[in-house]
């Protein structure tokens, strides 16, 4: 039996590399972390820090010629690295799902929203059509879409960005996964909608006892919605801390990122800029 | 008192039959930095476009540096007022080198000494001269935005229209661009009209802001209102709360619970 105390996800020495004409380039360089059950982990870093690649590598979505290796990649007692492509397909969506950045590019433009959400469920479960429809409507209601019957008939271009992202969340959560990876789920959205979408994710995650990995470049946002934070730079974790202790961050890179953000009550004449020559980031 | 740098009076703007902006009235003093804040679809970018001449269907009165603005493109106008767009990945021609991009406004306006001016401007926006003959795809997002700012400054305008100049960039790169914009404003005495949805950026960059909702200005507030959230309009207060409020404020805020 699976030990309930064991972490939901164990990652040890995860490496992702891409072949280039000048030799392989490692974008994730030996990443290790554990994710507890019902824990919310935030991964923060700038563009190119390898945070999205980490998210994809957990789902084994690194496409050739990219290569990923890991000493341990275990999800709920299951060795993900040893699964066949077919077995992986059974896991993706059903047990681990991922919310992508931009609903505009991630939804199928020629399928109605209802069909797409139903498809996510059909792949993993056999259900009579009536139940399927009921589950889709129920899911759309739970992501707070008014008039779900009408929205289910609409195409992605007919809904706003915030609504599109809610549709994505509905699609990802309908098979009731145990782990949700959200890769910049709100960076394409307005501030006011951002808070709604994140509150929604938080509510659904805690309500269903899921684990969450929130990938973002926004430190404060991650601190508001996660328990623990990993700060990545150039493929490595430079700092790991509890979200509440973010302001006590020790590493110069984390401090630099925090300081570079304008504040509501801004008194500084100039924002401090990260010294790129000092770190190993290029 | 001199005439305001930008003055809008009862401006309505429409696209086709749809009216997207109604009754917009505000003045921006010379040398001031003024922000237009609001969510997508509130009409804030449309106001900028109307001033720049990219949304010609408007009524009311717009004047820049005391001169009334016509409805179409205007060569004399573009010497005083230039715009920087949101997405540096989309606003530079992919098949023209940085040198071509920067010389083009000079060529159009028949200004000489182009080569020197390009080098000068590259230095002013903090780009090394080796970038001069590169193509946009060879630059990072922050570097491209610097090129876009350089292009806007080539004609030595007095008024800059900034449409979310940093929303496509990383936090640390955003800091670099904001510092650059602030420095250029100080050095060249520019007037900024900046569209953004990021309230902390307003606090850093601007003196006053107008909050827009559904095509109307609901409130014009000084930036000090951001310190304590003392906004009059309920919509503005919601927007402020959604942005996280001010964590440095002494009073407790209802930002994180809901």
Averaged confidence pLDDT in chain B: 88
How do beta strands B191-196 and B159-163 pair?
parallel
- Indicate yes or no: CB of A46 within 8 angstroms of CB of B198: no
Min Cα separation A225/chain B (Å): 9
Residues of A with CB under 8 A from a CB of B: 46-47, 160-161, 190-195, 199, 217-220, 224, 256-257, 260-266, 268-274
B100 touches chain A (CB under 8 A): no
Q: How far apart are CA B185 and CA B166, in angstroms?
A: 16
Task: Kindly indicate the confidence band of residue B29, based on its pLDDT and cuts at 50, 70 and 90.
Answer: very high
- Indicate yes or no: CB of A193 within 8 angstroms of CB of B141: no
pLDDT at B251: 47
Among the listed residues B2, B1, B18, B27, the one whose alpha carbon sits nearest the alpha carbon of residue B217: B27
* B33 contacts in chain A (CB < 8 Å): none
B154 touches chain A (CB under 8 A): no
B242 touches chain A (CB under 8 A): yes
Q: How far apart are CA B198 and CA B195, in angstroms?
A: 9
pLDDT at B256: 42
Token pair recorded at residue B123? 């230095």
* B144 contacts in chain A (CB < 8 Å): none
Is pLDDT at B13 greater than 90 in this prediction?
yes
Q: How far apart are CA A273 and CA B247, in angstroms?
A: 22
User: What are the domain boundaries of chain B?
Assistant: 6-242
Q: How far apart are CA A169 and CA A177, in angstroms?
A: 12
pLDDT at B1: 55
Closest CA in chain B for residue A47: B170
DSSP chain A: ---TTS-SEEEEEEEEEE--TTS-EEEEEEEEEEE-TT-EEEEE--TTSSHHHHHHHHTT-PPTT-EEE-SEEEETTEEGGG--HHHHHHHBTTTEEEE-S-HHHHS-TTS-HHHHHHHHHHTT----HHHHHHHHHHHHHHTT-SSHHHHHTS-GGGS-HHHHHHHHHHHHHTT--SEEEEESTTTTS-HHHHHHHHHHHHHHHHHTT-EEEEEES-HHHHHHH-SEEEEEETTEEEEEEEGGGGGG--SHHHHHHHHTSPPSS---SS-----TTTSS--
Is pLDDT at B258 greater than 60 in this prediction?
no
How do beta strands A40-44 and A228-233 pair?
parallel
* B39 contacts in chain A (CB < 8 Å): 190-193
Which residue of A197, A265, A270, A275 is the best one to mutate when testing the B interface, meaning the one whose CB has the most B CBs within 10 A? A265
* B225 contacts in chain A (CB < 8 Å): none
Cβ neighbours of residue A178 closer than 8 Å, sequence gap 6 or more: A8, A76, A95, A96, A210, A211
Is pLDDT at B253 greater than 70 in this prediction?
no
Write b or e for each residue in B194-232: b if 16 or more Cβ atoms lie within 10 A of its Cβ, otherwise e.
Answer: bbbbbbbbbbbbbbbbbbbbebebbbebebebbbbbebe
Min Cα separation B242/chain A (Å): 5
CA B116 to chain centre: 27
Is pLDDT at A235 greater than 70 in this prediction?
yes
CA A144-A164-A135 angle, to 5 degrees, is 50
Question: Model confidence over B157-204: pLDDT tens digits?
Answer: 999 999 988 887 888 888 889 999 999 999 999 999 999 888 889 999
Q: Which of A262-271, B68-77, B220-229 has the highest mean pLDDT?
A: B220-229
pLDDT at A3: 56
Which one-letter DSSP state was computed for residue B101? H
Min Cα separation A219/chain B (Å): 9
* A272 contacts in chain B (CB < 8 Å): 175
Min Cα separation A104/chain B (Å): 15
Averaged confidence pLDDT in chain A: 86
Tell me the backbone φ, ψ of residue B248, rounded to 5 degrees: -85, -10
Which strand (E) or helix (H) includes residue B254? Answer: none
Min Cα separation A87/chain B (Å): 37
Min Cα separation A258/chain B (Å): 9
Task: Kindly indicate the confidence band of residue A275, based on its pLDDT and cuts at 50, 70 and 90.
Answer: low
- Taking residues A21-35, report their average pLDDT: 89
Q: Which residue has the tokens 């200005």?
A: B217
- Indicate yes or no: CB of B197 within 8 angstroms of CB of A190: yes
Task: Kindly indicate the confidence band of residue A262, based on its pLDDT and cuts at 50, 70 and 90.
Answer: confident
User: What are the domain boundaries of chain A?
Assistant: 9-259
Which one-letter DSSP state was computed for residue B144? H
Give yes or no for a contact between B172 and A257, defined as CB atoms under 8 angstroms apart.
Answer: yes
Dmax over Cα atoms in chain B, in whole Å?
A: 60
Minimal Cβ distance to B200: which of A46, A161, A264: A264
pLDDT at B12: 94
CA B88-A162-A106 angle, to 5 degrees, is 70
Among the listed residues B112, B145, B152, the one whose alpha carbon sits nearest the alpha carbon of residue B131: B145
- Indicate yes or no: CB of A191 within 8 angstroms of CB of B39: yes
* A47 contacts in chain B (CB < 8 Å): 141, 170
Q: Of A73-82, A101-110, B105-114, which gets the smallest average pLDDT?
A: A101-110
- Indicate yes or no: CB of A224 within 8 angstroms of CB of B244: yes
Which strand (E) or helix (H) includes residue B72? Answer: none
- Indicate yes or no: CB of B197 within 8 angstroms of CB of A220: no
CB pairs under 8 A between A and B: 96
B256 touches chain A (CB under 8 A): yes
Query: Which top CATH class is A9-259?
Result: alpha beta
- Indicate yes or no: CB of B141 within 8 angstroms of CB of A47: yes
CA A47 to chain centre: 15
Residues β-bridged to residue A10? A34, A74
Question: Model confidence over A152-195: pLDDT tens digits?
Answer: 999 998 888 888 888 988 888 888 899 999 988 887 777 777 88
Q: How far apart are CA B53 and CA A267, in angstroms?
A: 35
Question: Model confidence over A104-138: pLDDT tens digits?
Answer: 788 999 999 999 999 988 888 888 888 999 999 99
Instruction: Locate all alpha helices (DSSP H) within chain B, ordered by sequence.
Output: 44-52, 75-80, 98-108, 114-124, 141-153, 171-188, 199-205, 225-228, 234-242
B244 touches chain A (CB under 8 A): yes
Min Cα separation B105/chain A (Å): 30
| B6-242: CATH, from 3.40.50.300, 1.10.1370.40, 3.90.1150.10, 1.10.150.120 | 3.40.50.300
Minimal Cβ distance to B244: which of A220, A262, A269: A220
Residues 204 to 223 of B: which have CB under 8 A from any A CB?
204-205
Tell me the backbone φ, ψ of residue A92, rounded to 5 degrees: -60, 130
Token pair recorded at residue B158? 């007095």
Give yes or no for a contact between B56 and B12, defined as CB atoms under 8 angstroms apart.
Answer: no
Minimal Cβ distance to B175: which of A192, A219, A273: A273
Task: Kindly indicate the confidence band of residue A245, based on its pLDDT and cuts at 50, 70 and 90.
Answer: confident
Tell me the backbone φ, ψ of residue A30, rounded to 5 degrees: 70, 65
């Amino acid at each position: 039996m699976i030990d309930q105390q064991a972490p939901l996800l164990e990652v040890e020495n995860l490496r992702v590399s891409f072949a280039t004409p000048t030799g392989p380039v490692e974008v994730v360089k030996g990443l290790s972390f554990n994710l507890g059950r019902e824990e919310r982990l935030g991964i923060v870093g700038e563009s190119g820090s390898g945070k999205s690649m980490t998210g994809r590598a957990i789902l084994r979505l690194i496409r050739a010629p990219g290569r990923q290796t890991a000493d341990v990649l275990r999800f709920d007692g299951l060795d993900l690295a040893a699964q066949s492509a077919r077995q992986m397909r059974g896991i993706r969506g059903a047990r681990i799902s991922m919310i992508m950045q931009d609903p505009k590019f991630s939804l199928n433009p020629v399928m109605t929203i209802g069909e797409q959400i139903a498809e996510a469920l059909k792949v993993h479960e056999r259900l009579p059509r009536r139940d399927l429809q009921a589950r889709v409507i129920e899911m759309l209601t739970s992501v707070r879409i008014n008039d779900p019957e009408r929205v289910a008939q609409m195409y992605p271009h007919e809904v706003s960005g915030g609504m599109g992202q809610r549709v994505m969340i509905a699609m990802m959560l309908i098979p009731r996964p145990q782990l949700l990876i959200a890769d910049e789920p709100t960076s394409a959205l307005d501030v006011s909608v951002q808070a709604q979408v994140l509150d929604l994710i938080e509510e659904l995650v805690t309500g269903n006892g899921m684990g969450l990995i929130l990938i973002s470049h926004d430190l404060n946002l991650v601190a508001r919605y996660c328990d623990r934070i990993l700060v990545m730079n150039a493929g490595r974790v430079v700092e790991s801390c509890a979200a509440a202790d973010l302001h006590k961050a020790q590493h110069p890179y984390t401090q630099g990122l925090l300081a570079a953000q304008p504040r509501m009550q801004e008194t500084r004449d100039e924002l401090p800029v990260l010294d790129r020559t000092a770190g190993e980031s290029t | 008192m001199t005439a305001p740098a930008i003055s809008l009076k009862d401006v309505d703007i429409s696209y086709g039959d749809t009216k997207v902006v109604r009754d917009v009235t505000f003045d921006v003093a010379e040398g001031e930095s003024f922000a237009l804040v609001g969510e997508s679809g509130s009409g804030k970018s449309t106001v900028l476009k109307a001033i720049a001449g990219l949304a010609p269907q408007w009524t009311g009165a717009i004047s820049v540096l005391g001169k009334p603005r016509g409805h179409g493109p205007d060569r004399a106008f573009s010497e005083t007022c230039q715009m920087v767009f949101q997405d540096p990945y989309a606003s530079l021609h992919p098949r023209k080198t940085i040198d071509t991009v920067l010389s083009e406004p000079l060529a159009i306006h028949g200004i000489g000494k182009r080569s020197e001016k390009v080098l000068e401007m590259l230095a002013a926006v903090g780009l090394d001269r080796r970038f001069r003959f590169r193509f946009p795809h060879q630059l990072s997002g922050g570097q491209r935005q610097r090129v876009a700012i350089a292009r806007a400054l080539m004609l030595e305008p007095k008024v800059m229209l900034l449409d979310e100049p940093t929303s496509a960039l990383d936090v640390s790169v955003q800091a670099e661009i904001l510092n650059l914009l602030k420095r250029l404003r100080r050095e060249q005495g520019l007037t900024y009209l900046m569209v953004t949805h990021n309230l902390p950026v307003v606090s850093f960059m601007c003196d006053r802001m107008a909050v827009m909702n559904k095509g109307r200005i609901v409130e014009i507030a000084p930036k000090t209102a951001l310190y304590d959230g003392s906004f009059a309009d309920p919509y503005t207060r919601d927007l402020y709360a959604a942005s996280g409020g001010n964590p440095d404020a002494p009073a407790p805020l209802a930002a994180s619970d809901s």
